[in-house]
């Protein structure tokens, strides 16, 4: 036994020649097309339409969608590679890929064939999508949502408010978590359902854009539902299963954020290493100073560990795609570990990159401090680092001993 797992076979992560071709392709595009645009995107807080169209045409938003639905297929590791390489230059694009993945996976795992054929080709063709579950009083505590959906004839009438919803600016469709039965004080997670909603639905208003710390180019919005009429055919899976579906989907999207964080950490490491090799102070290259070179060494170690952990979690998540209605604690465990470690690595590497650059590190014009801003965001959305540790602590006894231990 390799605690908490039964065999070391779980650590088998295969990287293929196709993965490397994909990485080189995305690296080349990011270097040539995305890197020169970072300042424009930071200032305008919007992705240029021509770049969005190019990414859509490349199939970036359709990674994981089967070819029969208009996508380009690809496994979970392929998705990580794309997110990592793009986030290395423009982290906010990684957000768009991640949030679009939420509806894609919801449809693939629990959608009807009619729903898949209706929505997946459109998404694969560049119509981004988003997931709306967070509310003012329900962030990490998803079970606390109040948005509700009342069945009336062939429609559900949605009322409520969502907040911190990413990719709204680019999205055509939004997967919404809402209550379809009154909350039970003792079982708050029951009675929720998932719906796919067109952003143009009457009664759905896009509210304020939130001026958060980072991720300029795709900062979040609030959504307001006021008697929004959603066809009953837009219910995803079974009524009342929305909370469980959402928790499963987050097991996937947290790994996406880990990949985004790896891209940020890689960029920060490269910038700091290059600067330390060329910058002179005290009569020598600052890389020759132990205080600097040890920081670089630490960044390197954490970065490699974060990447391996992320790819490992992505590989394990493939099991969930084959078992959509089965609880697989090892998927959640790996995803939470990857998300917490990779995002904290991104924050560490970005902070050290700023420190190594000194004064120029805090100057917007050099493009270094933006990685620190973006890395902090990654430790918060899709579940804070504290929530990831809670999930790990809750699951370990279940995996190792087959029993539940309450965690305060």
Query: What residues are labeled active site?
Result: 382
From residue 234, give the alpha-carbon distance in Å to each of 47, 82, 360.
30, 30, 51
CATH architecture assignment, domain 242-401: Up-down Bundle (1.20)
d(CA 243, CA 371): 33
d(CA 310, CA 330): 14
Average pLDDT, integer, range 177-194:
89
Would you say residue 2 has pLDDT above 80?
no
Would you say residue 186 has pLDDT above 90?
no
Task: Return contacts of 63-70, CB within 8 angstroms, 24+ apart.
Answer: 63/97, 63/101, 64/101, 64/104, 64/105, 64/108, 65/104, 65/108, 65/120, 65/123, 65/124, 66/108, 69/116, 69/117, 69/120, 69/121, 69/124, 70/120, 70/121, 70/124, 70/125
Give per-residue pLDDT as tens, 92-132: 999 999 999 999 999 999 999 999 999 999 999 999 999 99
Would you say residue 248 has pLDDT above 70?
yes
Element (H, E) at 71: none
> Which candidate, 92, 31, 82, places its Cα nearest to that of 58?
82
Give per-residue pLDDT as tens, 252-267: 999 999 999 999 999 9
Q: What is the DSSP letter of 182?
A: P
Where do the structural domains in the chain lie, given as residue ranges? 8-128, 131-236, 242-401
327: pLDDT confidence band, cut at 50, 70 and 90?
A: confident
What does pLDDT average to over the chain?
Answer: 95
Instruction: Please tell me the predicted confidence (pLDDT) of residue 352.
Output: 98
pTM above 0.85, yes or no: yes
Instruction: Please tell me the predicted confidence (pLDDT) of residue 349.
Output: 98
d(CA 313, CA 11): 9
Instruction: Please tell me the predicted confidence (pLDDT) of residue 119.
Output: 97
Would you say residue 307 has pLDDT above 70?
yes
Interacting residues of 47 by C-beta distance below 8 A, sequence separation 6+: 41, 90, 92, 93, 96, 170, 217, 218
For the domain made up of 131-236, give the CATH fold: Butyryl-CoA Dehydrogenase, subunit A; domain 2 (2.40.110)
* Total length of the chain: 408
Percent of the chain with pLDDT over 70: 100
Interacting residues of 304 by C-beta distance below 8 A, sequence separation 6+: none
Interacting residues of 62 by C-beta distance below 8 A, sequence separation 6+: 70, 71, 72, 104, 123, 124, 125
CATH superfamily of 8-128: Acyl-CoA dehydrogenase/oxidase, N-terminal domain (1.10.540.10)
């Amino acid at each position: 036994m390799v605690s908490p797992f039964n065999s070391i076979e779980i650590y088998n992560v295969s990287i293929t020649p196709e993965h490397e071709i994909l990485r080189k392709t995305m690296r080349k595009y990011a270097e040539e097309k995305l890197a020169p645009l970072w300042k424009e995107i930071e200032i305008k807080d919007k992705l240029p339409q021509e770049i969005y169209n190019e990414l859509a045409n490349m199939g970036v938003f359709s990674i994981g969608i089967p070819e029969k639905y208009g996508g380009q297929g690809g496994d979970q590791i392929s998705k990580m590679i794309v997110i990592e390489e793009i986030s290395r230059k423009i982290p906010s694009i990684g957000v768009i890929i991640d949030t679009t993945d939420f509806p894609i996976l919801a449809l693939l795992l629990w959608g009807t064939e009619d729903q898949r054929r209706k929505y997946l080709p459109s998404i694969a063709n560049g119509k981004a999508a988003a997931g709306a579950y967070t509310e003012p009083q329900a962030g990490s505590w998803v079970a606390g949502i109040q948005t509700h959906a009342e069945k009336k004839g062939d429609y559900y009438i949605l009322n409520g408010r969502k907040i911190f919803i990413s990719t709204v600016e680019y999205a055509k469709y939004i997967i919404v978590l809402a209550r379809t039965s009154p909350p039970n004080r003792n079982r708050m997670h029951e009675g929720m359902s998932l719906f796919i909603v067109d952003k143009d639905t009457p009664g759905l208003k896009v509210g304020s854009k939130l001026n958060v710390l980072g991720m300029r180019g795709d900062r979040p919005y609030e959504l307001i539902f006021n008697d929004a009429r959603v066809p009953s055919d837009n219910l995803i899976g079974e009524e009342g299963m929305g909370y469980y579906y959402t928790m499963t989907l987050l097991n996937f999207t947290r790994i996406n954020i880990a990949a985004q964080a790896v891209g940020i950490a890689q960029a920060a490491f490269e910038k700091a290493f290059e600067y330390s090799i060329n910058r002179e102070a005290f009569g020598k290259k600052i890389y020759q100073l132990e205080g600097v070179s040890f920081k670089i060494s630490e960044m390197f170690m954490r970065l490699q560990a974060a990447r391996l952990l992320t790819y490992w979690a992505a590989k394990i998540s493939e099991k969930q795609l084959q078992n959509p209605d089965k609880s697989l604690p090892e998927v959640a465990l790996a995803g939470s570990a990857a998300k917490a470690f990779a995002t904290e690595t991104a924050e560490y590497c970005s902070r050290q990159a700023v420190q190594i650059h000194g004064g120029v590190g805090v100057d917007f014009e050099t493009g270094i401090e933006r990685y620190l801003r973006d890395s902090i965001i990654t430790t918060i959305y899709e579940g804070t680092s504290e929530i990831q540790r809670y999930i790990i602590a809750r699951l370990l006894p279940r995996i190792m001993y087959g029993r539940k231990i309450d965690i305060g």
